[in-house]
Each structure stands twice: as C-alpha cells, then as structure tokens.
C-alpha cells in the first residue's frame, strides 16, 4: 500500500440523475485547471462486474447480488482506485459503495452492515455528491436508453432514493445536489463543492 496523495469523490444517485455526464464534465474541468483526474465506473470490468451486467434481466437473490458487487469493488479498489490515488489523481467514482447501501439496502439488507463490509475493503471517499431527483422524472429521462435493467422500476427507485437521503442525513460527507435542474446548474454546484474540497485538502 502506498500513501494516499489524491482525492476520492463519489458521484451517486438513482438511475437517470446524470452521474456519468457530470463525471465527464468535472474531469475536463479539473484537467483544464491542471489536476490529474480519472473516472472509475462501478460496476466495473472484472469478471464479477461482467456477471452483474449479464444478469440485469434476471432475478437474483439479494445476498448473491451484494456478494457480486463486493467482489467487483474489491478488484476495482486494488487495480484502479488505490493506484490512481497513490499517483495523486482526483478519482471521480461514477457510483461507489453508497449505491451498494442504497440499492441492496432497498432489497432488505441492513444498510449499516453493507457500509461496514465496504469500509473494510474500500477507502472512504472524501466527498459524496448525491444527485437527487424524483424517480418519475429520472425514468422519463432514461426511457430512450432502451430496455430497463432490473433496478430501474419506479417502486424500487423510490425506496433507493429514500435510502440515499437517509444516508445523507447521517453522513456529512454526502452533499445533496438537486438534479432535477439543468445539466449546467448541476455542474456549477458540483464545481463549487469540489473547489471547496480541493482547497481544504491542500491545507
Ligand atoms: P449503471 O446504470 O450506473 O451502470 O449501474 C448499474 C446498476 O447497478 C444500477 O441500476 C445500480 C446498480 N448498482 C447496485 O445495485 N449496487 C451497487 O453497488 C452498484 C455500484 C450499482
């Protein structure tokens, strides 16, 4: 293990909140300001991540699903996240273990337990940007993406959103950003949050 020199930021939220778009915009903005920046997307490209994606249209036992996300994350931490943090990158996570808490929590697994397991295998983020949006609006936004995966039903996403908001209430690292606004407005607010964090991490 090396010394962590970089900054770890997780972008979280239910499907259709604009996480990937925001991550790309923040990466370009950071690079234009001279930072090294990388996006790491979860689920990742490990055999476990591929298995998760292959199972999108199937029903899977909640514990089995949790296991797969954990195994995928463990590989991601070792192969992508820690090496980048050691090299001083600002690592932007397009989903991280807060998704694990909110989504698998919505299937009945205790969210605190999920956090505990994850914090044994993965570094804690310095900040979490939680893109919050009404699930009906989010589902309308992703309608043109084609077939929905099994996580993308209204009833389920309502629970997941509530879980994210519950987590935010007890974790001051989680900054809630209203993602029902335009991409530009969301980007502006996220930049302010990141600027603040980067200034603090230099102190
Ligand atoms: P994506 O749509 O961002 O590629 O993510 C795929 C799905 O995986 C998404 O619907 C949420 C789900 N997910 C979990 O249920 N738990 C997790 O830990 C992660 C990272 C994703």
Q: Report the alpha-carbon distance of residue 181 to residue 177 in Å, rounded.
A: 9
**Has residue 2 been placed in a domain?**
no
29 lines ligand 1 (CB under 6 A): no
Q: In ligand 1, which atom is closest to the CA atom of 104?
A: 15
Q: To test ligand 1's pocket by mutation, which of 11, 70, 71, 95 has the most ligand atoms within 8 angstroms of CB? A: 95
Contact status, residue 21 vs residue 129, Cβ threshold 8 Å? no
CA 34 to centroid of ligand 1, rounded, Å: 31
- Predicted confidence at residue 124, as pLDDT, reads 97
CB contact set of 60 (below 8 Å; sequence gap of 6+) = none
Whole-angstrom Cα distance, residue 10 to residue 93?
4
Give the pair of three-digit tokens for residue 14. 């239910």
Q: Is residue 116 part of a domain?
A: yes
Backbone angles phi, psi at 127, to 5 degrees: -155, 150
The one-digit pLDDT tens for each residue of the chain (203 residues) are: 678 799 999 999 999 999 999 999 999 999 999 999 999 999 999 999 999 999 887 888 999 999 999 999 999 999 999 999 999 999 999 999 999 999 999 999 999 999 999 999 999 999 999 999 999 999 998 887 877 777 788 999 999 999 999 999 999 999 999 999 999 999 999 999 999 999 988 77
> Can you tell me the distance from the alpha carbon of 61 to that of 164, in angstroms, rounded to the nearest whole number?
22
Domain that holds residue 114: 7-202
Count of residues in the chain: 203
Of 161, 130, 138, nearest to 22 (Cα)? Answer: 130
CB under 8 Å to 180, separation ≥6 — which residues? 133, 134, 137
Hunting for tokens 């044994």 — which residue is that?
A: 120
- CATH for 92: 3.40.50.300
Residue carrying structure tokens 């807060």: 98
Q: Is the CB of 105 under 6 A from ligand 1?
A: no
Cis peptide before 30 (omega within 30 of 0): no
Strands 174-178 and 127-132: parallel
Residue 17 CB less than 6 A away from ligand 1: no
User: Counting atoms of ligand 1 from 1, which one is nearest the CA of 69?
Assistant: 18
Mutating to test ligand 1, I would choose from 39, 43, 114, 153 the residue with most ligand atoms within 8 A of its C-beta, which is 43
Report the domain count for the chain.
1
1 inside domain: no
For ligand 1, say whether the CB of 98 is within 6 Å of any of its atoms: no
Ligand 1 contacts CB of residue 99 (under 6 A): yes
Distance from C-alpha of 31 to C-alpha of 1, rounded to nearest angstrom: 26
pLDDT at 3: 80
The C-alpha atoms of residue 187 and residue 33 are separated, in whole angstroms, by 15
């Amino acid at each position: 293990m090396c010394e962590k020199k970089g900054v770890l930021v997780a972008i979280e939220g239910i499907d259709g909140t604009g996480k990937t778009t925001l991550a790309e915009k923040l990466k370009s903005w950071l690079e234009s300001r001279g930072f090294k920046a990388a996006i790491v997307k979860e689920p990742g490209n490990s055999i476990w991540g591929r298995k998760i994606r292959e199972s999108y249209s199937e029903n899977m036992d909640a514990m089995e699903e949790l296991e797969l996300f954990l195994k995928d994350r463990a590989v991601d931490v070792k192969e992508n996240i820690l090496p980048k943090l050691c090299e001083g990158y600002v690592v932007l996570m397009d989903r991280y273990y807060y998704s694990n808490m909110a989504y698998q929590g919505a299937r009945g697994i205790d969210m605190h337990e999920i956090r505990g397991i994850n914090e044994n295998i993965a570094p804690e983020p310095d900040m979490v940007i939680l893109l919050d949006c009404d699930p009906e609006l989010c589902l309308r936004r992703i309608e043109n993406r084609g077939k929905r995966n099994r996580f993308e039903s209204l009833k389920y996403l309502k629970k997941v959103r509530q879980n994210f908001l519950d987590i935010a209430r007890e974790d001051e690292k989680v900054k809630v950003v209203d993602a029902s606004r335009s991409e530009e407005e969301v980007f502006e607010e996220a930049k302010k949050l990141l600027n603040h964090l980067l200034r603090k991490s230099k102190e």
